[in-house]
Amino acid sequence: MKRQTVFETAMERGVSRRDFLKMCTALAAALGLDYTQSDKVVQAMETNSRVPVVWLQFQDCTGCSESFIRSTHPTAESVLFDFISLEYTEVLSAASGFQAETAMKQVLEKYKGEYVLAVEGSIPDGEGFTNVGGIDVKETIKEMAAGAMAVISYGSCASWGGIAAAEPNPTGAKPISSYVSNTPVILVPGCPPISEVMTGVIAHMITFGAIPELDSQGRPKAFYRHRIHDKCNRRAYFDAGLFVESFDDEGAKQGYCLYKLGCKGPTTYNACAEMRWNGGVSYPIQSGNPCIGCSEKGFWDNGPFFVRHAKIPASQTTANIDKIGLAVTGVVAAGVAVHAVGTSFKKKSEDRRGDE
C-alpha cells in the first residue's frame, strides 16, 4: 500500500521548504552526521514513506511517553506528524474502547511486516494480571510483535523488566523480548530513556530504512557506546581524587565527583553525559545527583542507591578511593593511581562487553 512520504506530509501540513530543510539538518545532527551529509537526509525524507507505528503500554509509569513528547531535536511534533503515522497509542489517542481496539487490528491487516511496534512497560507473566480490551496482554504483544518489522523496547521496564520486576517481582514481570521470536528487538533502556535517543532511533530507521547497529545486548551503539563515567563533567575531579563526602559539604558546592555518594556512572552505559536532558540543559550528575544506573539491567535490585557501592567489578577502585579520602597530602599522586585503576577497570569492562 502506497504511503505518503515524509516530505509530502510536511507540505500538506503547511511546512515551508525552508523549514523542511532545517528539520532535515537538525535530524542529521541528531543522527551524528556532519552537516555535509544532511543532503542524504533530505533525499531520504523526500522519497521514504512515513512509518506506521503502534505504541503499546504495559506495566510502567508512563515516563517513557512523557520523555518522548519532550524531544527537541527532532521535535516530538515533527516525529509524530511528519516522520511516523501513529496508528495506535493509548496515551495520545483521541479514540478509545472498541474504536481504538479496531484501529490496532486494522494495522495488522493493512501494514503487516511494515509497521514498527514501540512498547513501554514490562509484561506480567502471571495469569490474569493485565488484560486490555478483555485480552491478556501476553497474547497482544505476541500477535503485534509477530506482524511488525521491528520492535522498539522503550525504557528499562520494556528492556529488562524494570521497577515492576524488583524483588520479589509479584507480577512475574518480564521484558518484551521474552515474547518476541522472529522480529528484531531494539532496546532503548533508561528510566525513562533520553527523549532525543527515543526519537533518534525512529529517525534512523526512516532515514536509512534499517534498524540501527546494535551492541551485544541489543542497544543502538550510537547512543549506548560510552560509560557515563567516560564523558562525565565531574571526571577531572575523580581523576584528581576530589570527592563529595556528603550532599551538603564543601566538595558538593565545588562540584566534585559523586562516586562516594554511590554514583554508578562507572558501570552505566548511556548518553546522558554527552546529549544531556531537556534539550541539552543538564543531567542527574551535573545537577548534583549521583547516577543510579537507570539504564542498566537489574538497576532496581542492584544494591542501595546513594551508598558507595561495592559491586563495581574492579574492587580495587573502592580500596584506592578510601586511601584518597584519608590522604591530606599527595593528592596528585593518588589521583594518578585512581586514574590507573579506572583505566584498567575500563579495559576489563570492555573485555566483558565482547564485541562492543
- Cβ of residue 49: shortest distance to ligand SF4, in angstroms? 41
Considering only residues 140 through 169, tell me which ones interact with ligand FSX, judged by CB under 6 A: 155-157, 162-163
Give the integer Cα–Cα distance in Å for 189 and 185: 12
Asked if residues 112 and 147 have their Cβ atoms less than 8 Å apart, the reply is yes
- Cβ of residue 266: shortest distance to ligand F3S, in angstroms? 11
Closest CA to 292 of 161, 119, 163: 163
In this chain, which of 28, 31, 45, 64 binds ligand FSX, going by CB under 6 A? 64
Q: Does 257 bind ligand SF4 (CB under 6 A)?
A: yes
Q: Does 60 bind ligand FSX (CB under 6 A)?
A: yes
Binding-site partner at residue 295 among ligand F3S, ligand FSX, ligand SF4, none, CB < 5 to 8 Å by type: ligand F3S
Angle at 42 between CA 222 and CA 46, to 5 degrees: 120
Nearer to ligand F3S, 268 or 320 (CB): 268
CB atoms within 10 A of CB 288: 15
- Cβ of residue 193: shortest distance to ligand SF4, in angstroms? 18
**Binding segment (CB under 6 A) for ligand F3S, from list 93-101, 245-253, 289-297, 336-344:** 289-297
CB atoms within 10 A of CB 127: 8
- Beta strand 135-136 with 131-132 is antiparallel
Q: Does 292 bind ligand SF4 (CB under 6 A)?
A: no
Q: Is 24 annotated as a binding residue?
A: no
Residue 327: CA count within 13 A, CB half-sphere:
19
- Residue 28 corresponds to which cell in the numbers above? 542529521
- Residue 70 corresponds to which cell in the numbers above? 519532550
CB atoms within 10 A of CB 233: 13
What residue ranges bind ligand SF4 (CB under 6 A)?
Answer: 228-229, 232, 234-235, 238, 257-259, 263, 265-266, 285, 291
What residue ranges bind ligand FSX (CB under 6 A)?
Answer: 60-64, 120-121, 155-157, 162-163, 191-192
